[in-house]
Structure 1
Amino acid sequence: MRHKPFFRWVLALGLLLLTGSALAYSLAPDMPELRQVGLTVLSEKKDGTCSVRWTDPFDRTTRTGTYRCDPDRDPLLKPPYHDPETRTGYESGFVVAEGSGRGRLYNLGEDDAAIDRWIDVSDMLAVFGLLLITTGVIGGNVRAVGRMSGVSRGVLDRAWRLAGAAAAVEEDRARAVEAVRTAWEPLHRARVREELGTVPVTRLRDDERRRFRTKEWERAGITTVRDVLDAGEWRLGQLPGVGRRTAEKALAAARWTAEGVSADTLVRLAAGRSDPRADSLVTALRVLVEAGPEGRAAAEAATELAEAEGDGAGPRFGQTSVDLLRGPGGELDVLAAWTDFERRPEEYYAALAEATRDAHRLVA
């Protein structure tokens, strides 16, 4: 059966009515600027219809007219009690303060009736428009849910399985990358400290690019940037001629230098060296290398399940998780990792660069 967009038409009609509401509001006459004046009530009927006299505040002439007084105001303000001598009353009113009708008496509730009618029309159109829009949105969504309920159970089950497998791959890869970073960090830190130990303290500059006076530092054994970082602010500040501010600037300069060295320093792997830290790193890297580019692609596919149905993603996710869950199991695994590294070092260094991107830290 062909789908009929009934609720779309309801929504369109609601939007049309809402547009009409805005148009009606824009067509309503503007409320004129008013000025309050005192009115002398010459006579008054029970319904509040009054004959009044007032002084035009603009040309100072005396004018008379009809006005709708408040019938419920204090009786002492009504004629003849307000002024027994002239037998008049009192009321406050408004006159137009702009345009050709300037100075004319303005009856609230009567002269603005046209404005009220346009506003009422605008409000009515807005209410019906919002009701239709709400009906169209809710009804359309209910119908969409009804159509989705026709999806086969098998397709839904497969979608859930793929989602679970994709999430597992993403989690396993994140765990493998973290293992590489954990193994890499102490090696990288040691290499950075080694490099900083070769940078003489005379290379440091303050924030104005001026050299520090380092003779007293060198006499105290602080000869390299690494020594400055190890000494810290307190020890530097105790040296002759070095105050707290100079110590702060020196330490900041040393840290800035260390950040640059940290970003430029690479960890080199070499088989045959007895270093448990390098063993941990190469075995952790082997997990990523074994998973290969397919593992990275599978992890990225976790957010692309819409294409997974016809892409064989289920088995690919499963195999990637198996590869990523392989961990070091002992000396044989270490030996196998080094052997594999010697066979394809480029892939190991590529995996290391990707895993440690943006992971360089300041060595203090």
Structure 2
Amino acid sequence: MLTLGFVLFACALGLYAAGSDLPDARQIDLAVLDEKPDGSCRVRWVDPYQKRAREASYHCDAGRSSLLKAPQYADSRGYGWESGFMLTEGPDRGNLEDLAAEPDLGYADGFLLSGVPLIALGLIGGNLRALPRVLGVEARLVRRATRLSEAAAWAAEDYERAVAAVREAGRHGDLPRAAGSGPASPLVTALWLLREAGPPACETAVLGARLTKQLHGLLDDAAPAAGLRNRLQAGPAARLNAARAVAELRLLLAESERNGLPERFAQTSVDLLRGQDVDRAALAAATDFARDPAAYHRLLEQLTRPESSVPPPTSSPRRGRRWRRRG
């Protein structure tokens, strides 16, 4: 429909352009010497090029006011009045313009009047067809879920990194039975970092790994709802999957915010980053180890068990452009 409208519009422009090639003409007054009811008349006008009055047959406007027709027109000679166009260039200048020989611009008007509504209807229909795709955009919700997934993954990765540091330090040295003088060994410092984070850090890390894996699949399915461009490129099946994924994401976000999970993930990451200042962490670890060395031995024994490892937030390969429409 839209294509047909543009074709008619182009035809109208072509006819208008063809009509613009007519010789120039100017409007003049005509004295109507004789007129019939159907509009056939004989007129007289002054030809400025031949410098004389001329007469010719003409087709007057039969529907014009009777006050412009003889004998009611205020002309002492008893003639009527009409207007016409005289050619001002070319070999026929001075002649009246033959309206019957002009390109019929009525066709151009018809094409234009037919094409414009078709164009408008095509644009409106296309927008209505695209409306279901546009209404499914939930960019803000997807961004919130992405931030939650990143925070959960960081918490799990930071805790796994701290545990790996303890195991790496344990391979290079044993935990002393009593406190020594000076800064603590790398193993004591790594254990101190986990003691400072506390037992909730392990629970938060496990929860973060589980939540990251769950959100990863939902975010992949919800990719068409992440923006208008993605939504328009998605096919019907992908849009349906995206709607379901968005509904599940909304429930997960509500539950996570109700339980304060974003704050827990952020706090766990902050607690596990305290060891970046190595010198200060070593001194604090030595002081804490001197106060309760048995606690460090218990923690080391617990972390060296196979089941103490936090499952990493494995990310399945993204399906990428699976949701895009097939051409």
- Say whether the fold is shared (TM-score over 0.5): no
TM-score normalised per structure 1: 0.36
Choose between structure 1 and 2 for higher RCO, CA contacts under 8 A separated by at least 6 residues: 2
TM-score normalised per structure 2: 0.39
